[in-house]
Amino acid sequence: MAGPVSQNGRRLVVTELHGLLNTTMRGLVATPGMGIGGKALQLGRPAAVNDYMHSTAVSHHIGRKVALEHIHGALAVPARVGHAVKAVLYGLARTTDPLGDRVLDAAAAVAAAGGRELAVEIEVARRLRAIDAERVRREERRVGIELQEIHEELCSIASDTSDLGLRERLLALCDRMVPRPGRPAPRC
């Protein structure tokens, strides 16, 4: 199982399942201290129990779901981006074999690789947002320049015409043109 961490590292939602007997764990929400995932989230480091149903080290708010899956041992490992926990990966065992250091080390290596992948995704998303913001700024500048040119042309036509009615209509259009924020309205 695995899931992203949100709300400033305070909420984990299981979104990914593999090898489970049913889907009751999908959508599972853990906050710091709740279950093995919540414990890993709270501590910011791997957590494991070898007899989940009888352990006093974790809360048992999902005991029914754990029993349905016949889970005996469980581990949860945070995936970090920098200092922030961005996801938690779980490992679940249906046997009574203890989860030893080699299992925890392997899970930590997978979580570290996942953290690196998340870091890349986050950076790509940040850069795409920056590109979009720059595109919007350029378009606003282009539109502003175009509006300024239209305004100048309308003022020029208004000053060139001897038709007073047409001049008044053109100047009224000039007055209706909204100046860009921070800039004074252009004068004819």
Residue ranges of the chain with per-residue pLDDT less than 50: none
Q: How far is CA 85 from the centre of its chain?
A: 13
In contact, 11 and 85? CB cutoff 8 Å = no
Contact present, 11 and 38 (Cβ < 8 Å): no
pLDDT of residue 182: 58
pLDDT for the residue 119: 95
What confidence score (pLDDT) does residue 140 get? 93
8 Å CB contact between 3 and 79: no
What is the residue whose two structure tokens read 């853990």? 30
Two tokens, residue 96: 């009574």
For residue 41, the model assigns a pLDDT of: 92
Provide the whole-model pTM.
Answer: 0.72
The backbone region for 185, taken as left when phi is positive above 0, alpha when psi lies in -120 to 50, beta otherwise, is beta
For 41, other C-beta atoms within 10 Å of its C-beta total 24
Tokens of 54: 């009888």
- Tokens 């979580």 belong to which residue? 111
Strand ranges, E, within 14-165: 29-30, 47-49, 73-81, 84-93
Q: Is residue 69 within 8 Å of residue 92, measured between CB atoms? A: yes
Between CA 52 and CA 69 the distance in angstroms is 12
